Amino acid sequence: MLENIQSIGASICEWTPAPYFFFSGNVFANLIYYSHLFPALIALLLAVFVLLNNPKGQLNRMLFLLTLVFTLWSLSDLILWAMDRADYIMFFWSILIHFDVLIYVISYYFVYFFLFKSFAPLKHTLGMFALLLPILFLAPSSFNLIGFDFSNCEREAIEGVLWHYAYLVEILIVIATAFISIKAFRDSDDKARRKSITLMVVGIVFFLLSFSLGNLIGSFSFDWTISQYGLFGMPIFMGFLAYLIVNYNLFNVRVLSTQIFVVTLWLLTVALLFLRTVDVIRVVVFINIVLFSVLGYFLVRSVKEVERQRVALEKANAQQQSLMRFINHQVKGFLTRTRTIFDSLKNGDFGKLEPEVGNLVNVGFDTSTQAVQMVKSILDAANLHDGAVKYTMIDFDLRALVSDITTQLKSVVDDKGLEFEINVDPRQEMIIHGDLTQFAQAVRNLIENSIQYTEKGKVTVNLAKQNDFAVFSVSDTGLGLTEKDKSVLFSQGGRGEEAAHRNVNSTGYGLYITHKIVTDHGGQISATSPGRDQGSTFTITIPLAK
């Protein structure tokens, strides 16, 4: 029967044999080679570089696996275009369904790992497993392919209901991928991270949707030429990946591999010019070569620049850390000893002092106390920034904490002649989960700041419950903030212009420390002010413990 089909096919349809599987006269347009070889080779090339760079990286392995399955899909599909034998066509068309769904499954795990830095949980794998079981069991049956269509010369199989099921599974996986991405995007408050999530997800969803749409159009319209354009989703996805590699150091790929990648890509594209000759495709290839030349140049240049900056930054960081260690071990020790000496003199450990000397000793004690505080806040900021601070998380009552701190600071406010208004509901408990000592520092910093920068008027402390959040705020009638001040307020060493003049001893690290502690606790901090000398309000919003 098979020989019969082949000989009729050869005589009536002019089918030609394909001794090397991929190449035969049956492939009627260059677009088929271009759409299959070009995306698969580029993707595989980048994936191999990425894998060689870090063979143990989970994300690197997943990208390699994804491109490997995509390449297998492309090559199997290419065989369908080239082959003249019904049995080969039936077999390779049948196994396409495996590769087809696998591309989506691996993409999901790849995105999940990229977003959450961990492998998708077992229940996700069980869900995928359940969805794929019908495909695994029914792939060798006529639910997959009903039969070989010899009513025309198109060399096509007739797809069964299993393919519609596979498309449904694929769409579900795309929706799930988009869902977890949106969740990760909303959970992140880091701008750069949000941008990288957007790029990665837009890239992969575009690839998967173009792949799905291409296949769906082919499946329902029986025009498989249109579906070829769907394959170009892969190089576009790779383009997004390349951008992520350059800008976010994804996969830690170095300059050399980027250069090799660009040169090979260029050569590969040039080689396509000689594959077969159809003028329209030549124009497309030529445009691609020009684009690659320009983009490749900028890609290598920016990778070099990023690498240079990274090395410089690492060096500066090492110097900063060494300085911090020096401050920690030496300067803080000197200052503390000086303070202790002044303290002993002040307390009369060395006899009664003359009034002039006593005044001098008091100034010495106050100055060394300020210096110790200053060094301590710089060190705290450095430790918080490096993640060296380990939080001891417990449930505690924020209301009691605020009450304690305001009581302690009452005398300071009174000494300055300011009014102190405290609006804390004594009947309402506000339990939050966090590090009591660190959070106390954040609350104290805000109130002390308000007292420090308010010359007359009042300081108001509010604490209220709003839905599942505790909202703590400190308002004052003091210095106020300009728009320029607000932009640097929570950065390391960031101080308002006027604040730096009025309090020369301020380090500018207090608000940075407060911001870091609050955000590390899942909270938010904001500052509002009508303008210079019109007071300001600092607000902390923190989730209540469940």
| Residues lying near other proteins in the complex (CB under 8 A) | 1-2, 5, 8-9, 12-13, 28, 54, 56-60, 86-88, 90-91, 94-95, 98, 102, 113, 117-119, 122, 125-126, 129, 132-133, 135-137, 139-140, 142, 144-154, 158, 248-252
Contact 172, 122 (CB under 8 A): no
Report angle CA 442, 445, 446 to the nearest 5 degrees: 90
Cβ at position 493, least distance to other proteins in Å: 26
Nearby residues of 105 by Cβ (< 8 Å), 6 or more positions away: 128, 132, 173
Q: Which is nearer to other proteins, 129 or 350 (CB)?
A: 129
Cβ at position 248, least distance to other proteins in Å: 7
Cβ at position 184, least distance to other proteins in Å: 14
Query: Quick check: helix, strand or coil at residue 34?
Result: helix
* CB crowding 350-384: b at 16 or more within 10 Å, else e: eeeeeeeeeeebeebbeebbebbeebbbbbbbbbb
Beta-ladder partners of 463: 424, 472
Q: Which is nearer to other proteins, 117 or 352 (CB)?
A: 117
Sequence letter at residue 56 = K
Q: Which is nearer to other proteins, 19 or 351 (CB)?
A: 19
Place of tokens 């990648």: 261
Q: Which is nearer to other proteins, 95 or 379 (CB)?
A: 95
The sign of the CA dihedral 110, 267, 54, 299 is: negative
Q: Which is nearer to other proteins, 7 or 293 (CB)?
A: 7
Cβ at position 439, least distance to other proteins in Å: 27
| The two structure tokens encoding residue 399 | 């209301």
Contact 471, 399 (CB under 8 A): no
Cβ at position 201, least distance to other proteins in Å: 16
The sign of the CA dihedral 257, 263, 265, 271 is: negative
Gap between the Cα atoms of 75 and 290, Å rounded: 27
Q: Which is nearer to other proteins, 6 or 362 (CB)?
A: 6
Cβ at position 12, least distance to other proteins in Å: 6
Cβ at position 131, least distance to other proteins in Å: 11
Cβ at position 138, least distance to other proteins in Å: 9
Contact 34, 272 (CB under 8 A): yes
Q: Which is nearer to other proteins, 18 or 470 (CB)?
A: 18
Cβ at position 97, least distance to other proteins in Å: 9
Length of the chain: 546
Residue spans of alpha helices (H) in 188-331: 191-221, 233-248, 255-272, 279-326
Cβ at position 409, least distance to other proteins in Å: 41
Q: Which is nearer to other proteins, 138 or 284 (CB)?
A: 138
Q: Which is nearer to other proteins, 126 or 323 (CB)?
A: 126
Q: Which is nearer to other proteins, 126 or 278 (CB)?
A: 126
* CA 392 to chain centroid: 27
Gap between the Cα atoms of 373 and 194, Å rounded: 36
Nearby residues of 512 by Cβ (< 8 Å), 6 or more positions away: 381, 490, 491, 492, 493, 494
Q: Which is nearer to other proteins, 8 or 313 (CB)?
A: 8
Cβ at position 308, least distance to other proteins in Å: 20
Gap between the Cα atoms of 291 and 490, Å rounded: 42
Gap between the Cα atoms of 45 and 38, Å rounded: 11
